[in-house]
Amino acid sequence: MTPPLDTTSSGVGLQVRGLRKSFGGQAVLQGVDLEVRPGEIFVIMGPSGSGKSVLLKHLIGLESPDAGEILINGEPVHAAALAAKYRMALVFQSGALLNSLTVGENVGLYLTEHRLKSPEAIRQIVAEKLEAVGLAEAADKMPGELSGGMKKRAALARALVIEPQLILYDEPTSELDPLSSIVIAEEILELKHRIRVTSLIVSHDRDLAFGVADRIAFIHEGRILIVGTPDEVKRFQNPLVQRFLHADFRRAP
């Protein structure tokens, strides 16, 4: 059953309890506990190989844990009725636009496939969402005509079409120039204030994390080392965290 659309959104709470996952005898998640509050921007950050991507796959249902559970507003995510009750969207790292469709068709694909609105209503909704992310003139363009930053914003517009209560972002600023990264950060902040959506961001981008997050979780080798406000994370006297926060990731010429 497809969840009905409405014109308002209210963020949901997300709880992760004792999540464990191993592959080939190698522990990847080692008892992860998190609580994301309704309407907040929560960032999970850490170095490559820390377990961020595997955790995200569990949150969107692509992986099943060996132990532990994930809940939305206190209900297990594997509950059959949950998908019909809450509206969740994912903004992929690559944007994941279909090259055979126009930008507008990509953005409105969910509504079209599920026949939730008339064609005219879909066009209007798509126009509104593209305008909201600064792509009002892009509806008739093909994805190949967009820059990397524009593709990310188009993917965000596609997520907004369902009036989500929870948006999961996978490295939303990866491979973007600083200006495009700022635009994405501003859009994430705007959504918090405009529709009070809950945003969970998986990223290694320190500027993004400390620029938008209400709280940050730092993960290392499948364990959460700290959950706190940006200031609390910056002050956290753990050598692994401090090394990550102060590392220079730029490559030498």
Residue 78 lies in a domain: yes
Q: For 111-121, what is each residue's pLDDT tens digit?
A: 888 777 888 89
- Whether the pLDDT of residue 164 is over 80: the answer is yes
In a domain, 52, yes or no: yes
Residue 151: count other Cβ atoms within 10 Å of its Cβ: 23
The enclosing H or E element of 206 equals helix 206-212
Q: Using alpha carbons only, give the angle 120, 122, 125 rounded to the nearest 5 degrees.
A: 115
- CATH number, domain with residue 23: 3.40.50.300
Query: Containing domain of residue 222, as a range?
Result: 10-87+202-246
Q: Does residue 248 carry a pLDDT above 70?
A: no
Domain membership flag for residue 98: no
Question: Mind listing the pLDDT tens digit for each residue in 17-35?
Answer: 999 999 998 999 999 999 9
| Number of independent structural domains in the chain | 1
Centre a 10 Å sphere on the Cβ of residue 112 and count the other Cβ atoms it contains. 15
